[in-house]
Amino acid sequence: VSSAIDETHDPALQSWVDAANHDGCEFPIQNLPFGRFREAADMDWRIGVAIGDQVLDLRRAGLIDSHDMNRLMRLLPAARRDLRAAISAGLSRGGAKEASWRSALVPMSRAEMGLPCMIGDYTDFYIGIHHATAVGKLFRPDNPLLPNYKWVPIGYHGRASTINVSGRDFRRPLGQLKSADAAVPEVAPSRRLDFELELGVFIGRPNPQGQPITIENAEDHVFGLALFNDWSARDIQAWEYQPLGPFLSKNFASTVSPWIVTMEALAPFRRAYGRPSGDPAPLPYLDSPANRAQGAIDVDLEVLLQTARMREAGTAPVAITRSNFADAAYWTIAQLVAHHTINGCSLMNGDLLGTGTLSGADPATAGSLLELTSGGKSPIKVGRDEQRTFLEDGDTIALRGRCRREGFREIGFGECRATVLPAASVSA
């Protein structure tokens, strides 16, 4: 199974790529995430693996024969593990590949990263229970969680066409806004633009329509995880969301990090999955011994903000919140896959599942400004002399993720970053 620990996780393993061995490096030889890169705009995207400050071109290294990431993601779990073992052996210090693979390395500083694969469909879940509770409280102080929350992994179908790779900036959306005291709505740039700290789950292996994926097999269908920012226009959302849920408040832009950290790389960071006493047990199709024993994944998450003024002054981005995937999530990835297909729905190769906002239990560790500012009522302090309720033009948000466990090498997710550009004019 993908959660098995093997010799590729050995913390003593070192690479002949020196930077990979440095303390704090996000891409040591124990990580080996997959991404798509090119060295010039007129070149084809190629498949690379991050190692230290370099990208290993898998085709040039003779490991694969195509540039098609989606095809690679369709590999059976055993073939995925074999490929990981071959990359690990070839990059290990003292291995036989150093001489031949040197020419297959491209410095990250020279690699432009693309979306990690062709994304088919995109579904966004709502598994952050502290987020669901805090947002629910803004509307229903006495009864924040709706009665279905602990039974059904809540989600909505999003749109893949406007998912961008990290580094692609986007315009503040225009939309219909209606303030409580206005008689009619107006079309204007969103004034309540927010980020959502999420993880993205990439589906590798599809299921035929009508054949649900069981929770026991669910992770065979998952290739890996990336950081995901589901930018949200809260004012557009508030006016449009009833009765069918989010629509244009969510699909103007989403940002995903370029590297997919594989389920195999995450094996040492698995955690038991359980629920607070008194909560209902998941229905049988959402429950298994393996899911209880190690269904959760321990990922430390962080959100950094750099305002335009900070950038001009040369001030580094500041952390505005921190949380943890396992602590925030009420459901596991295997449960999401099993639930999504229980009705016979097909998940396709390259599909992306967003987890939903991963807020910590403490309000100061929330994964969105909506929560951090109590619905826009209490600004947060940013840097030395600025504050924010929602995002302003020129603000850059970067998500980061790290996995740490005693006795294992720390691995990272890289960065998921974009800057808010001014809205287009309304008449355009």
Name the residues that contact Mn ion, by CB under 5 A.
Answer: 124, 196, 230
Positive or negative CA dihedral for 342, 344, 345, 350?
Answer: positive
- Reply yes or no on whether 157 is catalytic: no
Whose Cβ is closer to Mn ion: residue 230's or residue 264's? 230
CB of 354 to Mn ion, least distance (A): 6
CB of 80 to Mn ion, least distance (A): 28
Rounded Cα–Cα distance for residues 220 and 204 (Å):
8
CB of 254 to Mn ion, least distance (A): 8
Whose Cβ is closer to Mn ion: residue 219's or residue 230's? 230
**Single-letter amino acid, residue 384:** R
Closest among 298, 312, 322 to 225, alpha carbons compared: 298
CB of 18 to Mn ion, least distance (A): 39
Whose Cβ is closer to Mn ion: residue 230's or residue 351's? 230
Q: From the CB of residue 178, how many other CB atoms can be counted at a distance below 10 Å?
A: 15
Q: Is 222 helix (H, G, I), strand (E, B) or coil?
A: strand
Whose Cβ is closer to Mn ion: residue 54's or residue 251's? 251
Rounded Cα–Cα distance for residues 183 and 232 (Å):
24
Distance of CA 49 to the CA centre of its chain: 18
Whose Cβ is closer to Mn ion: residue 104's or residue 132's? 132
Q: From the CB of residue 399, how many other CB atoms can be counted at a distance below 10 Å?
A: 29
Instruction: Please report the DSSP string for 370-427 in residue order.
Output: HHHTTTTTSPEEETTTEEESS--TT-EEEEEEEE--TTS--EEEEEEEEEEEPPPPTT
Name the residue with the smallest CB distance to Mn ion.
230
CB of 228 to Mn ion, least distance (A): 8
Catalytic residue among 9, 130, 131, 340: 131
The residues carrying an active-site annotation are 131
